[in-house]
Chains A and B, each alone.
Chain A
Amino acid sequence: MELKKTTCPFCLNGCTSAVVFDGYQYRMEYPAEGAVNKGRLCARGNSASIVVDHPKRLAYPLLDGRPIAWSEAENLVRAWRAAVEPGQIALVYSRGRGTDEARRLCGLAAELGTTHIACGHIEPENAFNARLEGTKDAALTDVEGAQAMLLVGDVFNTSPVAVGRMLDARYADRKNRLVVVDSIRTRQSGFAHVFIQTRPGTEPLALVALAGLLEEKLKVDVDVLAEAAGVTRGQLAAAAAVLGAGAPGFVGAAAHSGRVRHPMLYSLAAQLVALKAKMPFVGFRETALPEAGESFADLRKALVAGEVRLLFWTGGLYPYSYAELFPEAAKAEYRVATSIFVPDPSVPGLVLPVIAELEKAATATTYWGPATREPVATPLSGARDFGSVLELFGRAEEKELPVPAVHKAGTVVEMAKKAGGLAAPPGDGFLLVGEKKAVGLRGFYDAEERVSVSPADAARLELDADSVVRVTSPTATRKFAVTVTEQVPDGVVLVGINVHENRVLFPLVTDEVAGAVTVAPVSVTVEKLTEAVQPPAEHVPDRRGAAYPVN
C-alpha cells in the first residue's frame, strides 16, 4: 500500500494530508511531519478519500442530464464554438480552479478575443483579495506567539486546524487575550475574553469604530458607527485596550455567504484594525481566486443583454446550477460546464467530467506561503484534466492576472460612513443568516435540516423542540425543524448553507458599498406549521451507509 502525501485542497491552511489505496478503497492517513498541521485534519480534510471514491463522481459527459459519449460532446462543443462569434463566448472560473488554470483561461479569452471572462466565486471570502495599504500578512509564528488576538467572523469553523495554535496561544499565559467580533454568539465567542456581538451584517462598522479608538487621526464618528452596529462604546474600548497595548498578536477574519452584507468593507475594516493595532492580518477562507476581466455583475448584465451566446463555466457549480439564483445563465444559447460530481438537480446544457483536485499536481496558495499539491489518487476513468477540456475551445498560453487593488485607510472610513447610513434598525421581521460549518462539505455529514432561533423568538412564535417552521425567502421556501438557542440574537434565523436546499434561500444581491455581487443576510418570513411533520434528528448525519448525498 502506497501512501501519497499532498497539500489539502479544501482551505488555505496548507495542511499536509495523505491518502492510501488498499486495493479496494481510498482512506485517509495523517502524516505527523506536516509542518503546518502535524497530522491534524479538520472534517473537510477528512473528506478527501470520500471525494475520490464517491459513487456520484461524474465519469461521462451529460447533455441536459443525459449521458453521452465524449466524441459526441467534443463535436457539440466544436459546433457550438463555430456557431457563435468569439466575442459572444463567456469564460467563467470558480472554486476548484487554481490560479494557474485561471491564468490559462485568461490567455484563452485573449486568444479568442472575448472580453467576457469573469471569476464566478462570489463568496464574500473572495474580498480578502483586496488589500489595505500598509497591512502585513501574518506568519505561523505570529499565531503561535500571539498574546492578543482579534478574530472577526467564524474563524473556528472556517479553518479549524489553525485554531489549535490559537488556543495554545490563548492558554499559554493568563494575560493573553482573545477578542471576537461576530453577529452570532458562536462557540468561538465562548473562548473570547472580549466578545462584541454586532447586528448581522454590521461587523465592519464596529471594526472601523474600533480602529477609530485605536487611532484618533482617522476621524471616525465612533458613537454613530457603534450605534449602527448595535454595540456600545464601552465594548469597543475594552477591545481597543487589548489590541492597542502593544502586545504581539494578529487579526484574523473569516467571511462566508449569508453572514456578511458588505464583503469588501468587511475585509478592509478588519485590515484597518490590524494596521492601527500594528498587527499582521490573515483572511481565513476556503479558496482564493483572483478577479480577471469583467466583474460577475457585468457578466450578468452581458447575459441579459444577449451579448453572450456560449457560456463556459468551470469549477464549482454555485451559482451556475442554481436556476432560482442565477436565471441569467439560461439566456446563453449554449451552455458548457465542468464538474467532478453528477449535478443534482440536473443542469441544462453540456456538463463535462473533470478530474478532482486530489488527482492532479498543482501549485497551491496558503495563508502561510506557497505549497505544492501532488496527485494522491488515480484520475477517474472517463474524467479529463482541465487542460484537455480547455483545448476544445482553443489553445492558449497562461496570461498574468490583474493585481488586486490596494486601498487607503481614508477610503475605508468613507465606505463605513456609507454603510452606516444603509444599516437598517432592528424590526419585527426575521433576518435569515447563514452559517458555514467545516463539517458540511457537500452535506457529507449534515443534512442541515434545522434552523436556530432565539428563546424570545421561540416564545413569540410558540415554538418548541418538536416544532416545524416554514421559512420563505424571496427565492425559495423550505421546512425546518427548530433549535432554540441563546447563540442566536432576537430576530435572526440561523441556517447552514452547505446544502443546495438552503443556499437557494439566499438571493444574489449587489453590495451597495462596493458594487460587487454577494450573498448577504436576507429578510424572510417564518411561520409555524401545525401539520404533523417528523422533524429531523439534530445530529444524525447520512445514515444510509451506502452513499453520501451530493449537492
Chain B
Amino acid sequence: MAKRLVLRIDYCVGCRSCEAACRSRFKSEARVRYAEVTAQAYFPLSCRHCAEPLCVAACPFDVIRKDPETGVVSRSSFHCVGCRSCVLACPFGVMDTYLLRSTSQKCSLCQDREAGPRCATTCPTGALQYVEESELAEKKTGVGIVARSPHWRRP
C-alpha cells in the first residue's frame, strides 16, 4: 500500500531540520523547503505527490513520472533540461524556481532509502510523519494549534 507524508502542524516548530536533512543528502539541493507565511504560520514546503500531478502533465520531455504502485512522483535528473515547466505548473509552489545543476529540484520521497524520507525520519518533534494511507484518518492535525496559545489566538 502507498505511504504518504503527513504534517502534524501542531508540532512544527520551524526548525528546518527537514530542509537540512534534504540538503545534507542531496548536496545543497533542497527538495523540501521551508515556508514562513507569517510569524504564526510556518511549515515545511514539500511535494504533495498529487493524484493527478500537473508537473507530470507539464513536462515536455516526460522526465517526471508517477509510479502507479507507490504514488511517488519523481523525475530523472539525467533527462531534465531545466525548462521550469514543472515549476510553473505546480499549484502548491513547492518546486523552487532556482535550478540546481541545471535541473529542477524535485522530491522523490527518498526512494533510495528503505526507511522512508529523511525529512520525516529526522523531524525533531515528529511533526512530519511517513504513514500508510489507511492511517491518515487517525492523524489529527491542527487540533492543538487553535488552542495552542492565548498569545496567538485571534481576538
Contacts and interface: CB of A to CB of B under 8 A. Distances in A.
Q: Do A and B come from one complex?
A: yes
Interface of A: 25, 27-28, 30, 32, 37, 39-47, 49-50, 156-157, 160-161, 163-164, 167-168, 171, 185, 187-193, 195, 437-439, 444-445, 485-487, 538-546, 548
B103 to A, nearest CB: 11
Contacts of B148: 190-191
11 contacts: A28-B118, A30-B115, A30-B122, A40-B121, A42-B20, A46-B20, A185-B151, A195-B149, A439-B16, A444-B20, A445-B19
B40 interface: yes
Contacts of A188: 13
B24 A192 contact: no
Contacts of A190: 40, 148-149, 151-152
Contacts of A50: 24
B101 A40 contact: no
Nearest to B24: A46
Interface of B: 10-11, 13-17, 19-21, 23-25, 27-30, 33-36, 39-40, 42, 98, 100-101, 115, 118, 121-126, 144, 148-152
Contacts of B34: 539
A28 B125 contact: no
B124 A164 contact: yes
Contact of A545 (B14, B17, B28, B151): B28
Contacts of A487: 39
Given A46-B24, A49-B24, A539-B36, A187 B149 contact: no
A164 B24 contact: no
A167 B151 contact: no
Contact of B98 (A192, A445, A543): A543
A548 B29 CA distance: 12
A41 B13 contact: no
A22 B15 CA distance: 28
Nearest to A542: B28
A164 B129 CA distance: 13
Given A192-B149, A539-B36, A545-B27, A30 B15 contact: no
B104 to A, nearest CB: 13
Contact of A43 (B11, B17, B39): B17
Contacts of B126: 40, 164, 168
A42 B13 contact: no
Contact of A27 (B25, B29, B30, B149): B25
Given A195-B149, A485-B39, A545-B28, A167 B33 contact: no
B118 A30 contact: yes
Contacts of A189: 149, 151
A195 B28 contact: no
Given A30-B118, A541-B30, A545-B28, A41 B15 contact: no
Nearest to A162: B124
B21 A445 contact: no
A43 B151 contact: no
Contact of A539 (B17, B21, B33): B33
A190 B40 CA distance: 7
A193 B10 contact: no
B152 to A, nearest CB: 5
Nearest to A547: B28
Given A42-B17, A156-B15, A187-B14, A545 B101 contact: yes
Nearest to A40: B124
Contacts of B39: 185, 187, 485-487
Contact of B124 (A42, A185, A540, A541): A42
Q: Which of B14, B15, B30, B100 has the most CB of A within 10 A?
A: B15
A193 B15 contact: no
B121 A171 contact: no
Contact of A39 (B16, B23, B42, B122): B122
A510 B17 CA distance: 35
A40 to B, nearest CB: 5
Contacts of B152: 190
Contacts of A445: 16, 19-20, 23
